[in-house]
Amino acid sequence: MDYISAGDIEKYSYCPLSWWLSKKEKNVENEGVKKHQDISEKAKKGMEEYEAAKNSERSVLYLAIGGTIASLVGISMFYSSYTLGIIFDAIAIFWLLAAIYFLWKSEKYITMWHDNFKRMMLILPSAATVFSIFAVTFIMNPNFLLGYVLEIASLLWLIFATFFFYLALRSEMHYSKIRSELRLPDGEIIYIDDLKKSPILKSEKYKIWGRPDMLLKVKEGYVPVEVKTGRIPKGPLFSHIMQLTAYMVLVEENYGTPPYGILKYGPQIYKIDYEEDLKKIMLKKVEEMRKAMKTGEVHRNHNRPGKCRHCSRRDICPERLA
């Protein structure tokens, strides 16, 4: 069974005959396509800035932790205290025992906490190692030279951390600016319609495919975004809602059930809830399309001269009204 694209579902929902005639057309780049490319490029830049901000934030964290540890170890080099050494040894043993306990209970806690459990299993042994270092350095004789070297290293690490913090802020500002220009709601752009890099989303269950203009990761889940260029209608058009519903079905099968989808007309944004009734209507259209492809019998589905007047295939349509 052939796959049907979300774009074809939109065309069919607008007018079955117009969709049928479009299958005979050659792909021609028009103004709308160019505008979509500009939007995709801007969204792509936003994704890059967001990733750069996250990478810089991670560098800040690692450098700050490293600098703090180096500083504390450096300070410990100036002192010798068996009491402090024993205390840090005890703390290290406690952390290691905690790590062993959670590792033993891993099957239970992985099910409960998932990523939090993985972070904890990384933090516990790391903390135990740090406290062990403190224990050893406090028991050792004072070493002023090594202490000074570690304090200088700590200062350099913190300087680098400040630099990466600046990079993170700059990338975050650029990302916020791009998101503001695109007038998108809060959320991380994780997917854009890029023919070279973005994978085609497919539904094995319903045999449909498509590439949404964007995919946002928000608190509620993953949200497809469809951007429409040209004239701005008074409300979301039925054919566009059907296309967006197809994208929501694709997101559901590939990422998880979306809370809603977004239709964007210039500055105007409409949130379309993902509802079972919409899904049924869209799938009914898909069934009709498959039947039409088998029989070759397709007709106009409306009596609106104005709709024909704005149709790009009006000149070759045998059933046009205007």
Identify the CA nearest to 248 among candidates 265, 262, 233, 230: 262
Domain hosting 127: range is 52-182
Residue 70, domain member (yes or no)? yes
pLDDT at 32: 44
Is the confidence at residue 270, as pLDDT, over 70?
yes
Do 66 and 119 lie in a common domain?
A: yes
pLDDT at 185: 72
Give the CATH number, domain containing residue 247. Answer: 3.90.320.10
Do 178 and 114 lie in a common domain?
A: yes
Q: What is the mean pLDDT of residues 164-188?
A: 73
pLDDT digits (tens, 9 = 90+) for 143-158: 677 667 767 877 777 7
Is the confidence at residue 166, as pLDDT, over 80?
no
Residue 322, domain member (yes or no)? no
Choosing from 124, 158, 182, the residue where a domain stops is 182
In whole angstroms, what separates CA 201 from the centre of its chain?
A: 14
Do 149 and 246 lie in a common domain?
A: no
Q: How confident is the model at residue 27 (pLDDT cuts 50, 70, 90)?
A: low
Phi, psi of 300 (to 5 degrees): -65, 145
Question: Where is mean pLDDT largest: 38-47, 104-113, 307-316?
Answer: 307-316
Q: Is the pTM above the cut of 0.85?
A: no
Choosing from 152, 182, 212, the residue where a domain stops is 182
pLDDT at 128: 64
Is the confidence at residue 268, as pLDDT, over 70?
yes
Residue 125, domain member (yes or no)? yes
pLDDT digits (tens, 9 = 90+) for 42-57: 666 766 776 777 777 7
Do 13 and 58 lie in a common domain?
A: no
Identify the CA nearest to 47 among candidates 156, 207, 150, 192: 192
Choosing from 182, 201, 226, the residue where a domain stops is 182
